[in-house]
Amino acid sequence: MFDLSFGLLPPAIVELIIEATRQTLYMVAVSGVLGTLLGLPLGVFLATSRKGELFAAPLANQMLGLVVNAARSTPFIILVVAIIPFTRLVAGTSIGTHAAIVPLTVAAAPFIARLIEAAIREVDQGLVEAARAMGASPLQIVAKVLLPEALPAITLALTLAAVSLLGYSAMVGAVGGGGLGDLGIRFGYQRFMPEVMAAVVIVLILLVQGVQTLGDLLARRLDKRSRS
Amino acid sequence: MNAPITLTTPSVQDPSPARPPAPATRPIIRFEAAAKAYPARRGHASVAALSDITLDVPEGAILGVIGRSGAGKSTLIRLVNGLEKPTAGRVTVDGVDMGALDEAALRAERRSIGMIFQHFNLLARRTAFDNVALPLEIAGLPAREIKARVEPLLELVGLSDKRDRYPAELSGGQKQRVGIARALATRPRVLLSDEATSALDPETTNQILALLRKVNAELNLTVLLITHEMAVIKAVADRVAVIDGGRIVEEGATYDVFAAPQHATTRSFLSALTGQSLPPELANRLTAEPAPGRDAVLRIVFTGSHATDPVLSRVSRLLSVDVNIIQAQVDEIAGAPFGVIVVSIPGDAATVAAVVGAVERLHLSAEVLGYV
C-alpha cells in the first residue's frame, strides 16, 4: 500500500491514523446530520416565536432558549459523562464510536439551533412583510422566504458547526469513542510519540481546511446578492 | 417664511379642471372613522398613530396620501391589507371589513390586494421571473399556469429580457418594476404603494409613476399610494389626502387642493412645487399693513379652462395699472394646466380692490400676500 507518511511513520501507525480518521469522519458526519435535523426546526422556532413574530409563543421561546443555553454552557467533556445513562438508553452502550454519536449530537443540536436562529434573523423583515401582504401563511413564509433567503448564511453556520464537531470529537476518546483526538492523546501524549501527535494535528488541519473551503464555496454559489 | 395674509378668500371660482377627476364611482376602499392606537407600555402612555380617519378611495382612482415621516401614513396603508388592525372604526375593501377577518380569510383577501414597497422587498435568491411567480406559488397555482401569467406581466413592465436576472443585477427602477409585476400577479383590484419611488432618482421615479398610471388605466386598478413628495402626487394622483399628526387635514381632487390649499401642512408641501413660496429677499420685506408708497404683492392662481387666458395684459390694459411680475410658474396637474403668478401692483386700496375684482371676474383667484 502507498505510504501516506512518506516513510516517517511505521506502517502500523499509519494504519491507526487512517482508522482514526475514518472514525472521526463517521462521528462528525452522523452527529452533524442528526444535529441539523434537530437543530434546524429548533432554530426556526427560536427565530420566529418571540412576541409579535410568525409563531409568537414568547413563553415557549424563553423556555427553549434556557434549555439551549444550559446545554451550550455545559463543557463538552462533562456533557459526555453526564448523559451516559441517556447514551446507554439510546445506543444500548455508553462506549465506542457509535455511542459517542449521542453526546456529539446532543451538543451539536443546540449549537446549530442558535446558529440557524441567527442566520434567519438576518433575513430582511421587509421580505416577511411582503410575503404576508401576498397572503402567505407562516409555514409558507418559512419555506419560501426565510429558509431560502437564509441558505447562504445557514451553509456557513453548518460549516462552522462541522468544524466545531471535529474539535468535540477529539474528546470522545474519554468514553472509548476513538477517532483522531483519542489517537493523539493515547499515542502522541501517553506513549511519548510526538510524530503521531504531529500527524494527527496535520490530518485535523487538513480536514478543517477542507470542510471550510467547501462550505465557503457552496455559500458563495448560493449567495446571489453580490453579482455583477 | 411669513404666513401669507389673506384678504380675499382663495376660492376657485371655476374649479372644473380640463380633465375630470376619476369618474364618480362607488368607493372600493373605505376608512370609516378608523383609528390606530398602540397600547401603553411601562413608562409610556399609549400612542395614537391614527385618529378618526374617514376616507373613500373611488374605484379606478389613484389616491395619494401625503405626509411627513411619522404622520401615520405607513400605518394607514397597512390597515387596508390587514397588516395592521384598527383599534376603532373600520376599514373595508370592496365591502369586506379587513379588521374583522380571521387569519385564513385575511390571507385569501390579501390576494386581491397588491403591495409595492420603498425598498422593493424582492427575494435576493430568486430571479425576476421567480419573484413575480412567488405570490402565485403561495396561492397554489400549478407551474404551467404560473408561467403563463408571469411572462405577460414581465412584458407589461418591460422586463422580458431580464427574466432570469437576480435582483442584485437589476437597477433600482428595474427592481421596482419587478415589484409591480409581482404585486399584479394575483390580478388584484387594489394596489397599495408604500413610498414606492422614495428610493429612486427623479427620472426613474417618473418612469415608475408612468407605469403606475398605465396599469391603473389598462387594468382599471385602484391605487392607494403614500408618499412624502408632492411631485409624486402631482404626477399621478387623481385625489390627494394630506395627513398630519395621524389625522387627515385636507382631502380632495388633486387639482382643487393644488389650486386652493386650505391647510398649512398642505401649503408647506406645495411651497416647493407651485410657486407658493416667495423669494426669501421679498418674503423678508413683506409687511401686513399697507402704507403710502408701498406696492401690494398679489398671488394669482390660474386654473381650469382659464389657466391659459392672457389675464395680466387684460388687467393692465383695462385698469391702466402697472403690473410687475415677481414670480411665475405654469404647470400641469392631473393633466390640466395650472399656473401661479406673483405680481406687485401699486398698493393703494382702490387699485388693489380693482385688480382683485378684475381677476375674480375672469374666474381666477387673487390673494394679497402683503405689502413691500
Residue B313 has pLDDT above 70, yes or no: yes
Q: Helix A11-48 to helix A58-73 angle, to the nearest 10 degrees?
A: 160
Residue B202 has pLDDT above 70, yes or no: yes
CATH superfamily to which B280-371 belongs: ACT domain (3.30.70.260)
> Shortest CB distance from A137 goes to which of B107, B125, B169?
B107
Residue B7 is predicted with a pLDDT of 40
d(CA A115, CA A160): 9
Residue B369 is predicted with a pLDDT of 84
CATH architecture of B27-270: 3-Layer(aba) Sandwich (3.40)
The percentage of residues in chain A with a pLDDT greater than 90, rounded to a whole number, is 81
Contacts of A228 (CB under 8 A, 6+ apart): B168, B169
Interface test with A, best of B75, B106, B107 (most A CBs within 10 A): B107
CB contact under 8 A, B115 and A226: no
d(CA A212, CA A210): 6
Residue A227 is predicted with a pLDDT of 52
The C-alpha cell that represents B193 in the structure block: 404603494
Residues of chain B with CATH 3.30.70.260: 280-371
Higher pLDDT, B150 or A52: B150
Interface test with A, best of B123, B176, B178, B224 (most A CBs within 10 A): B123
Q: Say if residues B82 and B105 touch (Cβ distance below 8 Å).
A: no
Residue A111 is predicted with a pLDDT of 97
Name the DSSP class of B195. Answer: S
Residue B129 has pLDDT above 50, yes or no: yes
Residues of chain B with CATH 3.40.50.300: 27-270
Residue type, B20: P
B185: β partners: none
Distance from CA of A136 to the nearest CA of B (A): 6
The percentage of residues in chain B with a pLDDT greater than 90, rounded to a whole number, is 57
Residue numbers in B near A140 (CB within 8 A): 138
Q: Say if residues B368 and B354 touch (Cβ distance below 8 Å).
A: no
**Mean pLDDT score, A160-188:** 89
Residue A150 has pLDDT above 50, yes or no: yes
Confidence of residue B288 (pLDDT cuts 50, 70, 90): confident
> Shortest CB distance from A224 goes to which of B125, B139, B192?
B125
d(CA B247, CA A8): 83
Instruction: Count Cβ atoms below 10 Å from residue A40 Cβ, excluding itself.
Output: 17
Pick the range with the lowest mean pLDDT from A101-110, A126-135, A145-154, A190-199.
A190-199
Q: B312, exposed or middle or buried, with CB in 10 Å at 0-12, 13-18, 19+? A: middle
ipTM: 0.88
Residue B10 has pLDDT above 50, yes or no: no
CB contact under 8 A, B167 and A228: no
Residue type, A13: I
Residue numbers in A near B115 (CB within 8 A): 130, 133-134
Name the DSSP class of B44. Answer: B
What percent helix, strand, coil does chain A show, rounded to 5? 80, 0, 20
Pick the range with the lowest mean pLDDT from A89-98, B119-128, B169-178, B276-285.
B276-285
CB contact under 8 A, B134 and A131: yes
CB contact under 8 A, A135 and B108: yes
Residue numbers in A near B125 (CB within 8 A): 148-149, 151-152, 222-224
Residue numbers in A near B81 (CB within 8 A): 133
d(CA B330, CA B308): 9
Residue B325 is predicted with a pLDDT of 86
Distance from CA of A31 to the nearest CA of B (A): 29
Mean pLDDT of chain B: 87
Sequential DSSP letters for B216-259: HHHTT-EEEEEES-HHHHHHH-SEEEEEETTEEEEEEEHHHHHH
Q: Say if residues B70 and B18 touch (Cβ distance below 8 Å).
A: no
**Mean pLDDT score, B94-116:** 95
Give whichever of B15-19, B349-353, B360-364 has the largest mean pLDDT. Answer: B349-353
Confidence of residue B298 (pLDDT cuts 50, 70, 90): confident
Confidence of residue B4 (pLDDT cuts 50, 70, 90): very low
**Mean pLDDT score, B355-366:** 84
Q: Is B362 left (phi over 0), alpha (psi -120 to 50) or beta?
A: alpha
Q: Strand B96-97 relative to strand B88-93: parallel, antiparallel, unpaired?
A: antiparallel
